[in-house]
Amino acid sequence: MVFSSFLFLFAFLPTLAAVYFLIPARFRQARNAILVVFSVFFYAAGGVRLIAVLCVSFLINYIGGLMAGRPGRGGKWGRAIAIAANLLFLSLYKYAGIFAGAANALGVSFPVPAGLLPAGISFYTFQGISYIVDIRRGNVSPQRNPMKLALYMFFFPHLTSGPIVRYREMEEEIDCRRESVELFAAGMRRFCFGLGKKVLLANTFGEIAGKAFAGPAPMSAGLAWVGALAYTLEIFFDFSGYSDMALGLGNVFGFHLPENFDYPYISCSVKEFWRRWHMSLSRWFRDYIYIPLGGNRAGNGRYIFNIMAVWLLTGLWHGAKWSFVLWGCWYGLLLLGERFLWGRWLEKLPALCRWAVTMLAVIVGWMFFRAASPMEAVSAIGNMFGVGCAPEDGRAVYLMLEYWPEWTAGLLACAPIKNLLSRAGKPNTRSFAASLAALAVLALSYMALMEGSFDSFLYAQF
């Protein structure tokens, strides 16, 4: 089930809200149980067998948390076993294919497993690992109530596409959150705007990118750039739209989930971009991989190793494809270049120039991310810069003119205009205007859904 489906919008969410709010707030555990039950049903809508996957992940982390909370060597072994079990569980579903393919390439006959990748498995596996590590670090205590831990792991807004929530970010609100009309209204407004990002913008830019890349290779340079720009906007509005909906739904039920995006396309360096894009993942790798490896405190050689290790793992986290590995290495090399080679020179340039250089690097990087293979990415990037490209045939101009309203809206939505509007006028006036705008976006999204089928979210496959 996805947030932009009719099943979710007109059956699941209204039913959940009705059942949840009919229970008085003083019966907190009953409300928590309702959220857990509905969250499991939400996930099972993608396939009943997925319930078993989710339950195994839960058992690994529930038992592992109790083991990691023991004092002394028993706790250390408990943490190690729980982390290893999480990684093995993730690898069996996500990376068995690439390992089998590599073995076959070396002449070892090994069957390549085929099966459906459980939606969001990377997200809830990383949440489980953070829970285990934080217990051992003393940041949280092991949760002995299985219903409370299940609510943390299964809570449907962040279950399939994040943000990656740490247990301490939900722990207090599992027992002591306060739902209110104001928070409910703010959450629904944010949900509506996120739905608009997905249905009105991401789906349209996905259609443009599909048309641009659908033709025979090679493409013209203009068409390659149109496709690259469309995909750059598609993935942002798809993922940030999901995050807005997730955070909005969290507010509806009294939770404050961590922000995941902060206008990344206004960044003036690659380092800044990764402080603004998928912030929960960046923080996870920083706190659980980069800093434990030594960060930047152990000399330049170790720093280079740490950066490349983190970005190799970041690429692999997104999927078992060599193009993802290259995408991760691309950003590792860019960050090293900013630190050791061109960073000081770049800082002397005007902000507009620094932004243009950064966006060029980001757009090129998305071609590695989108491609099915490294050669496909290299071919598309070469076409963008006039290498082996076809003559211009007018398709690029057509896609720009045919979709000019979406291009305009998309570029404006990448800028923090909403932040400026949120500070204009009186609070009551702002709230009323935001509600009207949210209703208009909801109506337009509904009409768009009526005209075509809904698409799943890109990050649900990770």
Digit-coded pLDDT (tens) for 287-324: 999 999 988 887 889 999 999 999 999 999 988 788 99
Q: Is the pLDDT of residue 454 over 70?
A: no
Q: What are the pLDDT digits (tens) for 202-250?
A: 999 999 999 999 877 788 999 999 999 999 999 999 999 999 999 999 9
Q: Which of 109-123, 202-216, 390-404 has the lowest mean pLDDT?
A: 109-123
Angle at which helix 72-94 crosses helix 121-137, to 10 degrees, equals 170
Active site residue 278: no
More confident residue, 432 or 55: 55
Q: Is the pLDDT of residue 423 over 90?
A: no
**Per-residue b or e along 411-448, where b marks 16 or more CB atoms closer than 10 Å to that residue's CB:** eebbeeeeeeeeeeeeeeeebeebeebbeebbeebeeb
Give the pLDDT confidence score for residue 296 in this predicted structure. 83
pTM, rounded to two decimals:
0.92
Q: Is the pLDDT of residue 422 over 80?
A: no
Q: pLDDT band at residue 103, thresholds of 50, 70 and 90?
A: low
Q: pLDDT band at residue 458, thresholds of 50, 70 and 90?
A: confident
Q: Cα(first)–Cα(last) distance of the chain, in Å?
A: 15
How does the average pLDDT of the chain come out, rounded?
A: 89
Give the pLDDT confidence score for residue 115 in this predicted structure. 56
Catalytic residue among 158, 256, 278, 318: 318
Q: pLDDT band at residue 50, thresholds of 50, 70 and 90?
A: confident
Question: Cα separation of 65 and 204, whole Å?
Answer: 44
Cα–Cα–Cα angle for 140, 145, 149, rounded to 5 degrees? 60
Q: What are the pLDDT digits (tens) for 274-291?
A: 999 999 999 999 999 999
State phi, psi for 180 to the nearest 5 degrees.
-150, 160
Q: What are the pLDDT digits (tens) for 136-165?
A: 999 999 999 999 999 999 999 998 888 999
Question: Cα separation of 460 and 319, whole Å?
Answer: 11
Question: Cα separation of 115 and 118, whole Å?
Answer: 9
Parse the chain into domains and list their residue ranges. Answer: 6-177, 183-457
Give the pLDDT confidence score for residue 113 in this predicted structure. 53
Give the pLDDT confidence score for residue 390 in this predicted structure. 86
